[in-house]
Structure 1
């Protein structure tokens, strides 16, 4: 298979691309694909995805659909593949192998012209010839100029069998003259890992990573089964559709026998007229005496009668998904048994678990060093999020979440723990929180739950608060009562070193969240005030807006302080600070008290920090638009290139960030408080789970930096 070898030389400059391919049958390459796409998204904004051969149309290719929905790949799906399997078979039947590879190469080159990095995922093993399939993918990888990343299935294979497969892989890579990124053995039994690592040599020229088996990833979710069967969803939120199915059970017996029969993670399959099974399942799920099922399928094109539906509505609905299918019970059971586990772009729980598993067992830093000779300097939202996550994981911090009973907080905590980003303490009534975790079927292993009202730390915290605030006529009894408040308790945890940072505000007001921090933690040396910034994640860059949340009408000295602290915050998050001090006029043209305040703030800030690129007063269009800047401030180092926007007052800042967020679709992360001795950050009461995750990650990095700017 020495086809078009000259094309490989021609494509050598494209060695920053990755080609993932399986060595044998199995879906492990999907998990590796996910982790590599996350990594590449952190390196650049123009990332491409490519499959050499797909079965039919891109709309029917699961991997193309997954990538298209999860990542902002800015190319049409028609550009993400080389040819269909029917086209490939026709060319091979006509002995036109070279033409097949040229077709794939042509499509790849067209995509590559638009993308800095391309992640390729090889063809599937559909014809039963594993040797041919791997050799084909290796040859395509060579001709595309990609670093190859082979994936070996470790499931149900002994160490001897795996070592033999690895030896064969080395031989095949040598025969095909492939340039290797790394090899991955996925799904290895836990009791085999130590012995296999001992026998393997993770050499520089042949790095190989072992990824252990994870039961939850090997089981289909309720959503997987619903999609495969074309089932109608009668009841079920997104979180219930993502639950793993560990067993399936046909329920055709009486209730007492059924209750003895059910196990945790069961998908119950029963005729649609068995309302008794449905009601018994609901009651059993809510009882601590019985295992919790994953979901229920009603067969035979039947649904519960109206009376039963009314009863269920009165109970608050079903705590698990209820599906309905037209097929009979036996046929349905056979179909369910054939459904494989797969990832879906909306299944954040399984995605988080998969990323946590891969990233814990593959040295991503080593891979990046092997992959990249050059990395772009533009900070895009995906690059920003990826880098922040990796930095937070590098030195895990302990974050306290006072609103421990809030569902969004619990969902975010699960994602953070599955990805091993931070340590978490939830505040609130422990029994209530654990019941909610159970009802939501969340995996929060390792989470710490503290009830402020009954904590043994409450007297210590009360005494500390009393000593700090007695000059304000606070008595000990008042301090003790305040420590039952999660915001005060969480703040004292940070103040006394029991946690590194706090995130709140999903339920509480901004004032409720940050007042204890103002009273106890106070400002860091060199900061006269506490202010805030938002990270505005636009389509192609990340900007910093301040202050949009804390100080209503800052004076000139406060504006200067906000700007200097915003520069430190930006540097902490790898954003080069170029500061525009905003007003309604640009340069010397305007007059009035408001614009004079900004001019004075610029003088103060430059006197304090002459090293900063800071200019003003400046209108927003001159700060952000290079063409306007050429006219209004042609010699400016900031105008048209600003990364930090300092607004003259809270009214302007708050309205502007919301206008940009809503009109452009930008993601606003914040407010991020700056100037405090230790990090406390506030959430919007309309925040999403993603907002919470991002804010916790940012808080963790602030804690790592100790409130100081990066050098």
Structure 2
């Protein structure tokens, strides 16, 4: 039988999905097979957004349909029959998992006074320990503590076992006070801060709420969060004074001067990067303005709606954001907050957890992040023009995994990150053509390669190459390591290290390895990129180096020699 945790709240908008994300992250580090179950989902056939998000982060590949119980309509029609169905479906799912995170209802389809009771009955009948998620948003400390006490008693009256209480969305300055107030409950308690970004809607969500159309800009940028809203009903100069990073600007469609000014400001390096512009009122953009807007070449989404100014502002401000697989920045921020405020050991202790012997891909990845965070190294990323690098950098920075330097044009890189709703503000962005560093690196490179006839003039031409530039940073102690290869070949990436860093003492052959993440273990394959046809001596060197690398990654090295082909099968 799988262990499980049931997340239940006493009201809507307690942000259980943030807690579920954090718990899944804890469990995937320690459990072989993790799964998610939603006992109640909305009626109407629309797939549950929370479940969609969490399914992508479990280690058991289960179809959506196997992870849901019943709809709210089915619960209303036959409460006892619905409970029996929920139990049956949960029992089938738990056969395929070792740990299940059960995410309770959202107060969207059941009368609120009875909803906690429904969750308590479900938790008791599936034998799941309950973690109560309380909302601390806009509430005094005593009210949060009293609500938690009453919810705890209600759960216990329905024979559900409460294993913890989390006060979520608590103002930062109130965290310590709330934490102390909850200690009297007699169960483990934690507090998580209110993070406005997590409640922010994306441009796509506001577009849908308004029934708006995309008239200009890049559809891929609709996933950016709207962190502020500005109703631009004032003179242009006053609109410009009030622009903020990540802002959605609502402008009357019959005032093209405002549209032009806002787009120009968005394009200017000295102004914030906006999330979107909404033209309200339903008036068409004049041809001359259309040519000008198109000529700016900006990717910022510009939406059009027939609503008047008040209605547009009202709908936009009331649109609630959600965590989805597309909102990477929100997911990163939510995980980072959970990691900072919730001790994993206290969670595992509360559910009487026993660690398995196997290592799954998600467990391996999570443990690598933990080790990297503890090491606190400085890494240079030479391929700053690649969106994948920017996304990875945003995640690593949000979760305090490493200090980063990204190579490339700072203005272009930061602008692209803002468009993608990524936060790389803590990263250094360094131009590989920086004159001072190019001169320093060229002098050192010329010295190192003097025996090959390298001149200072030729070195100045070579070191601005990002692979050489990043390698020189490592060589001179300006970074601890370099990660590259997303857009550059293996040869382009490692050639500078052959010339500059060279091999460590005792290693005669440079080789590489792949970490192959299997279902229940990690295998190390080498060499797959550097020496295609090794000699006997090189093969021995590769085996020794690969086993040492495996040990560094926590893999017990047992060496097996594999051949490309046997006899004539490869001919």
Q: State the TM bucket, normalised to the shorter chain.
A: 0.7 to 0.9
Residue in structure 1 matched with residue 50 of structure 2 by the alignment: 63
2:195 maps to what in 1? 214
Distance in 2, matches of 1:237 and 1:365, equals: 44
| Map of 1:567 onto structure 2 | 547
Is 1:339 paired with 2:319? yes
CA contact (8 A) 1:400 1:499 kept: yes
Gaps of 5+ in 1: 1-12, 592-618, 620-647, 653-711
For 1:444, the equivalent position in structure 2 comes to 424
CA distance in 2 between partners of 1:140 and 1:169 (Å): 15
How much does 1:136 deviate?
2.9
CA contact (8 A) 1:400 1:425 kept: yes
Match of 2:98 in 1: 116
Q: What is residue 594 of structure 1 aligned with on the other side?
A: none
1:293 paired with 2:303, answer: no
Partner Cα distance (1:232, 1:372) in 2: 52
Query: Match for 2:400 among 420, 428, 432?
Result: 420
- 1:168 maps to what in 2? 150
How far is 1:350 from its partner? 1.7
Q: Rate the CA distance shift 1:371–1:572 in 2: closer, same or farther, 3 A.
A: farther
1:21 and 2:3 are equivalent in the alignment: no
How far residue 518 of structure 1 moved from its aligned partner, in angstroms, is: 1.4
1:56 is displaced (CA, Å) by 0.9
Distance 2:436 2:551 in 1: 40
Count of matched residue pairs? 571
Question: Structure 1 residues 247 and 428, CA, compared in 2 at 3 Å: closer, same or farther?
Answer: closer
Alignment correspondent of 1:319: 299
Is 2:364 aligned against 1:384? yes
| Distance in 2 (alpha carbons) for counterparts of 1:548 and 1:290 | 48
Aligned equivalent of 2:525: 545
CA distance in 1, matches of 2:53, 2:210: 19
Q: Quick one: structure 1 residues 72 and 238, their matched pair in 2 at CA, closer, same or farther if it must change by over 3 Å? A: farther
Say if 1:58 and 1:77, in contact at 8 Å, map to a contact too: no
Matched, 1:246 2:233: no
- What is the match of residue 223 of structure 1? 204
Give the aligned partner of residue 30 of structure 1.
Answer: 17
Aligned to 1:700: none
Q: Relative to structure 1, is the Cα distance of residues 519 and 289 closer, same or farther in structure 2, using a 3 angstrom cutoff?
A: closer
Secondary structure class of the residue paired with 2:512: strand
> SS of the residue aligned with 1:59?
coil
Q: CA deviation at 1:144?
A: 1.0
Map 1:608-627 to 2 at 5 A.
Answer: none
Aligned-pair Cα RMSD in Å: 3.5
The corresponding residue for 2:124 is 142
For residue 211 of structure 1, report the CA deviation from its aligned partner.
Answer: 1.2
User: Does the CA-based 8 Å contact 1:221-1:244 persist in structure 2?
Assistant: yes
Q: For 2:56 and 2:46, how far apart are their aligned partners in 1?
A: 12
Distance in 2, matches of 1:372 and 1:143, equals 19
TM-score of the pair, normalised by structure 1 = 0.71
**Aligned with 1:191 (options 162, 170, 173):** 173
Does the residue aligned with 1:20 lie in a helix, a strand or coil?
Answer: strand
- Residue 151 of structure 1 and its aligned partner are, at CA, apart by 0.9
Counterparts of 1:511-590 in structure 2 under 5 Å? 511-537=491-517, 543-577=523-557, 579-583=559-563, 585-586=565-566, 590=567
- Mapped contact 1:235–1:320 kept (Cα < 8 A): yes
8 Å CA contact 1:66, 1:345 repeated in 2: yes
Cα distance in 1, alignment partners of residues 125 and 271 from structure 2:
57
Per the TM alignment, residue 129 of structure 1 is displaced from its structure 2 partner at its CA by: 5.8
Taking a change above 3 Å as real, the CA distance of residues 326 and 460 of structure 1, as seen in their structure-2 partners, is closer
1:385-438 deviation per Cα after TM superposition (whole angstroms, max 9, x unaligned): 333223322332211113345444333211211122111112345455455555
What's the offset of the Cα at 1:282? 1.1
Seen in structure 2, the aligned counterparts of structure 1 residues 190 and 261 have a Cα distance that, compared at 3 Å, is: closer
Instruction: Say whether 1:355 aligns with 2:335.
Output: yes
Is the 1:452–1:489 contact (alpha carbons within 8 Å) kept by the matching residues of 2?
A: yes
| d(CA) in 1 for partners of 2:219, 2:102 | 30
Q: Deviations over 1:118-150 (max 9, x none)?
A: 211111224786553223323321221212111
Match of 1:74 among 61, 73, 79: 61
3-state DSSP of counterpart to 2:100: strand
The aligned residue for residue 483 of structure 2 is 503
1:83 equivalent in structure 2: 70
Match of 1:681 in 2: none
Contact 1:58 1:64 in 2 (8 A): no
- Distance in 2, matches of 1:155 and 1:74, equals 35
Q: Structure 1 270/375 Cα, relative in aligned 2: closer, same or farther at 3 Å?
A: same
- CA deviations 1:37-74 (Å, max 9, x no partner) are 33334445643321222221553422233334665753
Q: Secondary structure at the match of 2:561?
A: strand
- Secondary structure of the 1:182 match is strand
For 1:133, the equivalent position in structure 2 comes to 115
2:343 and 2:424 mapped to 1: Cα distance?
25
Question: 1:104–1:526: structure 2 CA closer, same or farther, 3 Å change rule?
Answer: same
Q: 2:117 & 2:420 partners in 1: Cα distance?
A: 46
Partner of 2:84: 102
1:669 maps to what in 2?
Answer: none
Aligned runs of 1:651-662 on 2, under 5 Å?
Answer: none
In structure 2, relative to structure 1, the CA distance for the partners of 1:325 and 1:383 (3 Å cut) is farther
Q: 1:156 to 1:110 in 2, by over 3 A?
A: same
Correspondence 1:53 to 2:40 = yes
Distance 2:333 2:216 in 1: 25
Could you give the per-residue CA deviations for residues 248-279 of structure 1, whole angstroms, max 9, x where no partner exists?
Answer: 34445664554455444432334555544433
TM superposition shift of 1:220: 1.5
Q: Structure 1: how far apart are the matches of 2:63 and 2:488?
A: 43
How far residue 234 of structure 1 moved from its aligned partner, in angstroms, is 3.5
Aligned residue number for residue 266 of structure 1: 247
| TM-score in terms of structure 2 length | 0.87
1:379–1:575 Cα contact (<8 Å) kept: no
